[in-house]
Amino acid sequence: MIEPLRGRKRTHTCGDLRAEHAGERVRLMGWAHRVRDHGGVLFLDLRDRYGITQVVFRPEKISPPVLEKARAIGSEYVVLIEGAAKPRPPGSENAELRTGAMEVEADQLAILNQSKTPPFPLDDGATASEDLRLRYRYLDLRRDVLKQNLIFRHRMTRSVREYLSDQGFLEIETPLLVKPTPEGARDYVVPARLHPGKFYALPQSPQLYKQILMVSGFDRYFQIARCLRDEDLRADRQPEFTQIDLEMSFVTEDDVFDVVEGTLQSIFRRDLDRDLETPFPRISYEESMARFGSDKPDLRIPFEIRDVTEIAGASAFEVFRAAKKDAPKTGTLALPVPGLGTASRREIDNFEATAKQAGAGGLAWARVKGGALDGGVAKHFPGDLTAKLLEATGARDGDLLLLCSGPRPLAQRVLGLLRTQIGNAAFKLDSREFRFAWVHRFPLFEWLEAHAAWGPAHHIFTMPLEEDLPYIETDPGRVKAQLYDLAANGNELASGSIRIHRKDIQESVMRTIGMKAEEAQEKFGFLLEAFEYGAPPHGGIALGLDRLVVLFNGGESIRDAIAFPKTASATSLMDGAPAPIDPKDLKELKLRIQD
C-alpha cells in the first residue's frame, strides 16, 4: 500500500493555492491533518509547514482503486495527491485558511507512508500534558503554535545577524569545551579522556573569550551563543539556552544601549511589522527598586510604590512610628492601587499572606472613600494626615492603599511583588504592548550573608562607575557599577556591563571579595594575562534569545521557543537524556560511579 515517490515533485506547497491557480493541475504532498467523509464525498485537509489545503475525492469522478486508497488514509499519513485546483463552491470558503478559497479535486493518490495514531490530537490548544507532548516532541512540533514560534525564531535570528553585521560586528565562535567559568552557576563538565582526572566545562557563556577577542583587536564581536548552566530546578529555566552575545571596544554604556535598541528596532520592523520607539527609558537600580520594588519593572502596570515614611510615621500607628525612627534604613512604603477599593477582606487577607510569605511582618491597608480613609489603619490617621497621605500617594476615591513597613529593601521587595501580582490579576495588561527600560547603575558588590563577605553582583570583570573607584576597598557597599539590564514587561531580557580592563582595578575588586591572587590565577589566569598585553576599554551585553521569542510571539515558557527543550529537572523525555554510559567507556575515562 505504501508507494515510492518515484521522483515526483510538488507543484505547490499546502499553503500556496489562491484563486489565480483555478484550473491548474497540481501535485501536493503532506500530512493528513483531518479526513472527513461527507456521505461518500471524502474531504482531506492536507498539511505541511506552509499551510493546509482542502482536497476532495468525489466518488463519481475517480477510479474505484483511488477511492479505496483514499478511504484508507488515517490521521497523519503522508500522502501525495494530484488533481485540479478549483475555487470552492460559493459559501463553503474558509476565511481562516490562506488557501481557504480553493480546493483540489483529486484524481490521483499515493500513500507515501502510514502513521500510528498520534497519542494526542495535533489540533491547536492541545490539552495533553506537557510531559506527553515533550515525549513526542516531533509531533508536538507539528502543532501550529510551536511551528510558528520556531519560524519566528529563525526570522528574528536572521534579522539580528544582518543588523549586527551591517553595524560592523563579526560573528565569531568560541569553544564549547572550556575551562570552568567563574559565573556563579554550576558548570556542566565533560571528562577529558586524554587527561584522566581532568575535565572540560561547557560554557556558561562566552564571557571570557569575547573579552579576549577584544584584546585581540576584533573591536565588535557577536555570537548566537549556546550557554549551559547546571542550575537547580527553577521554573522556566533551561539547562541550555541561547544568547545574542555582544562585545565592543572603546565604548561606554550608551554605545551598547544604541546597538541593542537598533537590533530590537530592526526585529520590530522586519519581523513584527511595527515601530519601536527608542531610546528606551533609563532607570537607575535604586530608582527602580524605589518605584517598582523590582529590577525588572513592568511599566505597563499603572501604579507605583510611594515613600510615606514621614507621613505615616506621624500617625498613631506604632509600626509606622517605629519605621520612621530608623529611617532611611527602614521606612513605610505605600502602593496605591487604582479602583481596588472594591477588594473584599478575603482578597486583602490574601495580599497580606503574600507579603508575609515574602518576609514582611504584616501588611497595612485602607480603602479611599469620600476623600477619607476607610477600614484597616484608617483610624490611626486624623484628617490632615489623611489629606497628606492621599496627596503623597495620589490615591483617589475607590482606590486601595497597601502599606508595608520595615527595612527598606524588604518593604520594596514585598510591594514590588504585590504590584506585579495585582497588576497582572486585576488590570488588563496588553501582551502586545512592549515597554522596554534600561535598568543600570547596579551595586558592584552584594553582601553575602551566608559567607559574611562581599561578592560580585554580576561577575568580577564589571567596571565600577568612575566616581566610585576610590571606594572599592574602603566602602564597597556604596560602589555602583557600569552594569545594566534590559527589562520589558516584568522580564529581564538582557544583562551586561562595561568591563574592567585595568589590572590595578581588577586586583582591587578581587581583594574586596577576598579572592586570593592564586585563586584568580587558577580560575582565569589566562584572561588576566591577556589583559597585560594592551586590553582596550570594552563592554558588552547578552540578550536571552529564547525569552525574546516568547515575549514577541506569545507562549508561556521558553520551552515554547526551543525545538527540543528539557523538563524542569533537566531531562529530555524524547531521547532519554541523561542516561548511563557503558562501563567500558567509564573505564576508558578512568571514572568510577560511587554509590
Whole-number Å distance between alpha carbons of 269 and 48: 27
User: How far apart are alpha carbons 178 and 108 in whole angstroms?
Assistant: 57
Question: Which residue from 99, 174, 205, 489 is in contact with ligand ASP, where contact means CB under 6 A?
Answer: 205
Return the number of the residue (422 or 486) whose C-beta is nearest ligand ASP.
Answer: 486
Query: Which position among 174, 495, 506, 512 is part of the footprint of ligand ASP (CB under 6 A)?
Result: 495
Of the candidate spans 102-110, 215-223, 537-545, 580-588, the one that interacts with ligand ASP by CB under 6 A turns out to be 537-545
Binding mask 346-385 for ligand ASP (x = CB under 6 A): ----------------------------------------
CB of 440 to ligand ASP, least distance (A): 13
Q: What angle do helix axes 253-267 and 144-166 make, rounded to 10 degrees?
A: 130
Q: How far is the CB of 295 from ligand ASP (least distance, A)?
A: 14
Q: What are residue 217's phi and psi, to 5 degrees?
A: 95, 15
The stretch among 117-125, 492-500, 509-517, 586-594 that binds ligand ASP (CB under 6 A) is 492-500
Residue 60 CB neighbours (<10 A): 7
Nearer residue to ligand ASP within complex by CB, 205 or 330: 205
- Which residue among 99, 159, 207, 238 contacts ligand ASP (CB under 6 A)? 207
Under the criterion CB under 6 A, does residue 542 sit at the interface with ligand ASP? yes
- Judged by CB under 6 A, the chain residues 496 through 515 that form the site for ligand ASP are 496-497
For cell 518605584, what's the residue? 291
Choices 152-160, 164-172, 267-275, 493-501 (CB under 6 A): range interacting with ligand ASP? 493-501
**What CA dihedral angle connects 423, 425, 427 and 433, to 10 degrees?**
80
* CA 205 – CA 419 distance, rounded (Å): 32
Quote the least distance from Cβ 423 to ligand ASP, whole Å.
26
Handedness of CA 126, 130, 132, 134 (dihedral sign): positive
Query: Quick check: 73 and 59 in contact, CB under 8 A?
Result: no
What would the grid cell of residue 139 be?
509531533
Choices 144-152, 312-320, 490-498, 500-508; region in contact with ligand ASP by CB under 6 A: 490-498
Residue 545 makes contact with ligand ASP by CB under 6 A: no
Least distance from C-beta 246 to ligand ASP, angstroms? Answer: 7
Distant-in-sequence, close-in-space partners of 275: CB < 8 Å, separation ≥ 6? 265, 268, 269
Which parts of 35-94 interact with ligand ASP (CB under 6 A)?
Answer: none
- Shortest separation between residue 336's beta carbon and ligand ASP, angstroms: 35
Which is nearer to ligand ASP, 223 or 489 (by Cβ)? Answer: 223
Helix boundaries (H) for 368-407: 383-393
In angstroms, give the least distance from the CB of 497 to ligand ASP: 5
Number of residues that bind ligand ASP (CB under 6 A): 8
Check residue 174 for interaction with ligand ASP (CB under 6 A): no
Q: Please, is 579 exposed, middle or buried when counting C-beta atoms within 10 Å of its C-beta (0-12, 13-18, 19+)? A: exposed
Residue 109 C-beta-side C-alpha neighbours within 13 Å: 31
Q: Which is nearer to ligand ASP, 208 or 549 (CB)?
A: 208
Q: Please tell me whether residue 541 binds ligand ASP under the rule CB under 6 A.
A: yes
Asked if 417 contacts 358 with a C-beta cutoff of 8 angstroms, the reply is yes
Indicate which single residue of 341, 540, 555, 565 sits in contact with ligand ASP (rule: CB under 6 A): 540
Stretch that binds ligand ASP, among 103-111, 165-173, 538-546, 559-567 (CB under 6 A): 538-546
| CB within 8 Å of 117: residues ≥ 6 apart | 74, 75, 76
**Minimum distance, C-beta of residue 163 to ligand ASP, in the bound complex (Å):** 18
Cα(368)–Cα(373) distance, integer angstroms: 5
Q: How many residues does the chain have?
A: 595
Phi/psi at 517 (5° precision): -55, -40
Q: Is the peptide bond before 87 cis (omega within 30 degrees of 0)?
A: no
Compute the C-alpha angle 492/497/501, nearest 5°. 165
**Considering the complex, what minimum distance in angstroms separates the CB of residue 541 from ligand ASP?**
5
Characterize the bridge pairing of strands 51-57 and 102-113: parallel
Q: Draw the binding track, 268-307, toward ligand ASP (x: CB under 6 A; -: no contact).
A: ----------------------------------------
Residue closer to ligand ASP, measured from CB, 402 or 542: 542
- Positions touching ligand ASP (CB under 6 A) are 205, 207, 495-497, 540-542
